[in-house]
Amino acid sequence: MIFRPLFKILSRLSLLGLLCCTANAQTIGQQSVVHGLQWDIHEMTIGQVKHYAAATGFRSRAEQEGVGVIYEAGWSQKKGWSWRQPFGVPALDSEPAVHLTFDEAQAICRHFNKRLPTDAEWVAAAFLEQRDQPPAGLTKGKRYAYPHGDSARESHCLQGCSNRQGTAPRGSLTRGTGHLPVMQTLPGVNGLYDMGGNVWEWVDTAVGDERITRGSSWWYDASRQLESDVASKPVDTRVAYVGFRCVQAVSSTLSPRPVPPQSGR
């Protein structure tokens, strides 16, 4: 009775590793300069947070409490869900790190000599193409409707996006299919991946006692990715569809702390 669930988990990891993650594993941790900031081109990954946890002894609030949170018919607690196991089963190192509060996200960025972007910085990087020679389909100086360009078709969301299958085990969710490993969609404006869809991203701008999240997630349709959609959440929010990415000033005297190369696992 034990072997069949274990076989399913191992099969899932192997399949995702072959189909999703091998091609981009070598570029995890890469940065792109946008308007004087070095941006992580992808969302913070589970593998990167593992490196932080190993160095600091970090245990997230979700780990300490033994439960993660997701919205179903109201907020639901899920035993064993955390940044290590976003949907309660072993996850790929290349999946985005979620179930982390605003303060936890900021602390992780600072460990790597980086920080969370402000809302203004995030919006400029997500919607205004600033590269001198962007690839075909994007134009320098143009402000786009979506972080992927004129449409959200390439992004990963509930409706109005691509038809990619997320990593959540079948039956674990009542809505959507979960997030994708990072960099499985094409890069968007300014060469950044998943600024629209996949997971919401914490930014360091307050709305009262809350902090803004940007970009929407796999749980929502494409309309939530628009620049006009400004969502905020309590700083202790730790849910299955909120992650983050970090930035660093180009002129910073502190070099980013190295992260060991990651495999698709």
Query: Are 29 and 48 a contacting pair, CB within 8 Å?
Result: yes
Calculate mean pLDDT across residues 66-72: 97
How many CB atoms within 10 Å of residue 30? 14
User: Are 104 and 60 within 8 A, CB to CB?
Assistant: yes
3-state SS class at 103: helix
Q: Residue 82 above 90 pLDDT?
A: yes
Model confidence over 25-67: pLDDT tens digits?
Answer: 447 889 999 988 999 999 999 999 999 999 999 999 999 999 9
Torsion over CA: 105, 110, 112, 115 (sign): positive
Q: Which amino acid is at 250?
A: V
Helix (H) or strand (E) holding 48: helix 46-56
Average pLDDT value for residue range 82-93: 98
245-256 pLDDT, tens digit per residue, is 999 999 754 555
The one-letter amino acid code at 87 reads F
Domains in the chain, start-ordered, CATH in brackets?
Answer: 3-249 (3.90.1580.10)
Q: What are the backbone angles phi and psi of residue 233, rounded to the nearest 5°?
A: -140, 150
DSSP state at residue 51: H
Residue whose C-alpha is closest to residue 41's, from 182, 154, 163, 146: 182
